[in-house]
A and B are shown apart, each in its own frame.
Chain A
C-alpha cells in the first residue's frame, strides 16, 4: 500500500477518490484477511460513508489534512462508540462502548477512515496474539508463524497491506515486538504523551497507545494526530506537540555528533545470531550516516522482565476486578448468589493467560507477600530508571534488538508461559521507565523473516527518534520489502 503522503497527493490531485481508496482497501481485506485473520471486525458501511464526506470536501475545493481519507485499523482494546470493543475476550464479546476513546475522537476529527478493529491477545496480555478468544492471527511473512503480540492484528494488517496504518497499545512491548516480527514500524510514545482515555486498562502505569505503520513518516503523521494533553487522563502530559512529520530529513547530517549507545547486555545468550548481526550492521549504517556509536552498559536491564511480571499482573488484577457481570459484559445465568455469579462469570469469561496473571497479581499484592514482590519490583523499577538516566548522560539514543528472535511458530510457546514472556525481554524496561521507543525493520534472517531494531529515547524525545529512524530507513531497503500474499 502507498504511503500516507502518496495517498494524500492522489486524493488532492483527484487521481483517486477517498471512496475508491476505501473500497480498494475493503476488497484487499476481503481477499487477504481470511489468510491473515488480523481483523475481528470490519466497518465497511461506516468507512464508505466517511470517505464520501471526505470526497465532498475535496469536490468543494476545501483543503484536506494528511490523514483525511486514509484507512486506519484500530486495536480492539480501544473504545469505539457504537462499535463492539472486545479486547479479544469472551467476557466483552457483546460489549458496545457508549463513547469513543480520545484517540478515536482525534482520528475522526482528522478525517481518518476507521476501517476495522484488530485482533489482540486477550486484554493485551501476550506476545503472540494466540491468547485471543476468537482467532489466531498469522504472520504475513509465514502464515504458520505468529505475528507477535499483543497488537498482532494491527501489525499483521499493516504488513499485509490490508491497511495503511494502525493503532496499537504497548504495556511491555505490545506495539514494538509485533512490529519487529511483522517487519513494520511501531512506536511506543513517552508515558503520558497520548491519552489513555478509552483504552481498556491492563497495567495503567505502563499502558500507552501508539502507531504501527509501513514507514517512519507514516508513523510520525499518525503520532502527531493522536498525541496531546487530555484532561480526561490524569497522567496526560501538558506538553507542546511538535510537527513530527515536518521535522523528518533524509539524512543525519544536520544533527551534529548524534551519539548512539548500544546496550551491551542485549547481545549474547538467548539472542538469535541473525538478529545480532542485523542490528550490528544497522549500527554500521548509522555510523556511516554520521552517528557516533559507543557501547553502554545498563546492568539492571535484564531485571526488567521479572519486575514487570510482578507489576503488570498486580495492576491487572485490580483493573480487571471491574469485570464482574454487573455493569457490562457477560454474566453466567446459573449462579446461586452474587459471589458465585462473580466467580463463575470470570471463570468462563477469561482465558487462561488472563486468569494466570490475575492469580499472580493477587498473590503478589496479598498480605505477607506485598513487600517481597510488589514493593521490591517497584524499587527495581527505580534502579532501571536510574540506569537509563546514566546512559542518557552519555548518549542521545540507545539501540538494541527489539526481540531476541524472529517470528516463532504458532503453538511453539503456548505451553510455556515463562518462555513466552522472554520474548519481551528487550522492550519491557522501556515501559518501566516510561520512555519513548520505536522498532524499525533492519533486515531478514535466512528464512526470510523480518528483524527489528529498537531505538530508545529519553523522555519526550520522539522527534529525535523519528528523525534517526527516518534517516536509517532512507539509507536501507528494508521498508520497501513486503510479504507476498
Chain B
C-alpha cells in the first residue's frame, strides 16, 4: 500500500502538524517505503488470533476516588506559556461577530 502527498497532508492536519513543502515530499516517499515494509505482516495468518494490548496484563486496577490537593499549584500554572490568574491562556478560538 502506498501513500500519496494528499494523504500525508490530510494525516498531518489530523495530527495538528504543519508540514513544509519539503517535508511533505520527503515524508511521502519515506512513508511509502515504510508502509511497504509493513506489508510482510500479511504473510501471517491472524484470522483467529486475539490482539494483545498489553504484554503483561493487569486488569481492574481501581483506587478510591479521593481528591488530593496538589502542594504547588503555581508551579503547574507557571509551566504554561501564558496564563491569566488561575487559568491557562490561549489564542482566540471563536470568530468575532460584527
Q: Is A478 an interface residue (CB 8 A)?
A: no
Write out the residue numbers on chain B whose beta carbons fall within 8 Å of the beta carbon of A379: 46, 49-52
Contact between A98 and B79, CB atoms less than 8 A apart: yes
Contact with B3, one of A303, A310, A341, A363 (Cβ below 8 angstroms): A363
Q: Is A359 an interface residue (CB 8 A)?
A: yes
Give the Cβ gap from A75 to chain B, nearest Cβ, in Å. 21
Q: Given A326-B90, A350-B17, A363-B3, verify A205-B54 contact (CB < 8 Å).
A: yes
- How far, in whole Å, are A191 and B11 apart by their CA atoms in the complex? 31
Contact between B8 and A205, CB atoms less than 8 A apart: no
Q: Is A342 an interface residue (CB 8 A)?
A: yes
Q: Given A231-B63, A360-B31, verify A378-B79 contact (CB < 8 Å).
A: no
Q: Is A417 an interface residue (CB 8 A)?
A: yes
Give the Cβ gap from B23 to chain A, nearest Cβ, in Å. 7
Contact string against B for A residues 359-379, beta-carbon threshold 8 Å, 1 for contact and 0 otherwise:
110110010000011011111
Write out the residue numbers on chain B whose beta carbons fall within 8 Å of the beta carbon of A355: 17, 19, 23, 27
Contact string against A for B residues 50-63, beta-carbon threshold 8 Å, 1 for contact and 0 otherwise:
11111110100101
Write out the residue numbers on chain B whose beta carbons fall within 8 Å of the beta carbon of A382: 46, 49-52
Contact between B51 and A378, CB atoms less than 8 A apart: yes
Please, which residue of chain A has its CB at the minimum distance from the CB of B46? A379
Contact between B17 and A434, CB atoms less than 8 A apart: no
- Point out residues on A near B: beta carbons under 8 Å: 95-96, 98, 190-192, 205-206, 231, 234-237, 300, 303, 306-307, 309-310, 317, 321, 324-331, 335-344, 346-347, 350, 352, 355-356, 358-360, 362-363, 366, 372-373, 375-383, 385, 417-418, 431-435, 459
Q: Knowing that A234-B58, A346-B18, A366-B14 touch, tell me 20 more A-B residue pairs with CB under 8 angstroms.
A: A98-B79, A191-B55, A205-B54, A231-B63, A237-B58, A303-B41, A303-B44, A321-B15, A326-B81, A328-B80, A343-B13, A356-B27, A362-B15, A363-B7, A363-B11, A376-B42, A383-B49, A418-B30, A433-B55, A435-B55
Contact between B56 and A237, CB atoms less than 8 A apart: yes
Give the Cβ gap from B67 to chain A, nearest Cβ, in Å. 16
- How far, in whole Å, are A28 and B2 apart by their CA atoms in the complex? 51
- Point out residues on B near A: beta carbons under 8 Å: 1, 3, 7-8, 11-20, 23, 26-27, 30-31, 33-34, 37-38, 40-44, 46, 49-56, 58, 61, 63, 72, 75-76, 79-82, 88, 90-93
Write out the residue numbers on chain A whose beta carbons fall within 8 Å of the beta carbon of B42: 376
The 4 A-B residue pairs whose C-beta atoms are closest, nearest first, are A434-B55, A378-B51, A98-B75, A331-B81
Interchain Cβ contacts under 8 Å between A and B, 10 examples: A235-B58, A303-B41, A321-B16, A328-B81, A359-B8, A363-B11, A363-B31, A379-B49, A379-B51, A385-B52
Contact between A337 and B17, CB atoms less than 8 A apart: no
- How far, in whole Å, are A228 and B15 apart by their CA atoms in the complex? 36
Q: Given A303-B44, A360-B31, verify A352-B23 contact (CB < 8 Å).
A: yes
Write out the residue numbers on chain B whose beta carbons fall within 8 Å of the beta carbon of A96: 79
Please, which residue of chain A has its CB at the minimum distance from the CB of B75? A98
Write out the residue numbers on chain A whose beta carbons fall within 8 Å of the beta carbon of B40: 303, 306
Give the Cβ gap from B58 to chain A, nearest Cβ, in Å. 6
Please, which residue of chain A has its CB at the minimum distance from the CB of B43? A303
Please, which residue of chain A has its CB at the minimum distance from the CB of B13? A343
Write out the residue numbers on chain A whose beta carbons fall within 8 Å of the beta carbon of B63: 231
Contact between B90 and A338, CB atoms less than 8 A apart: yes
Contact between A383 and B91, CB atoms less than 8 A apart: no
Contact between B92 and A338, CB atoms less than 8 A apart: yes
Most buried by B among A98, A192, A234: A98
Please, which residue of chain B has its CB at the minimum distance from the CB of A330? B81
Give the Cβ gap from A126 to chain B, nearest Cβ, in Å. 14
Contact between B46 and A205, CB atoms less than 8 A apart: no
Write out the residue numbers on chain B whose beta carbons fall within 8 Å of the beta carbon of A432: 52, 55
Contact between B91 and A98, CB atoms less than 8 A apart: no
Give the Cβ gap from B59 to chain A, nearest Cβ, in Å. 10
Contact between A459 and B23, CB atoms less than 8 A apart: no
- How far, in whole Å, are A191 and B55 apart by their CA atoms in the complex? 7
Contact between B38 and A329, CB atoms less than 8 A apart: no
Please, which residue of chain B has its CB at the minimum distance from the CB of A367? B14
- How far, in whole Å, are A358 and B81 apart by their CA atoms in the complex? 23
- How far, in whole Å, are A137 and B72 apart by their CA atoms in the complex? 35
Write out the residue numbers on chain B whose beta carbons fall within 8 Å of the beta carbon of A366: 11, 14
Contact between A380 and B58, CB atoms less than 8 A apart: no
Please, which residue of chain B has its CB at the minimum distance from the CB of A328? B79
Contact with A459, one of B1, B56, B75, B81 (Cβ below 8 angstroms): B56
Contact between A377 and B15, CB atoms less than 8 A apart: no
Contact between A306 and B80, CB atoms less than 8 A apart: no
Write out the residue numbers on chain B whose beta carbons fall within 8 Å of the beta carbon of A385: 52, 55
Contact with B44, one of A236, A300, A329, A346 (Cβ below 8 angstroms): A300
Q: Given A337-B93, A358-B15, A382-B51, verify A417-B81 contact (CB < 8 Å).
A: no
- How far, in whole Å, are A417 and B55 apart by their CA atoms in the complex? 26
- How far, in whole Å, are A373 and B54 apart by their CA atoms in the complex? 17
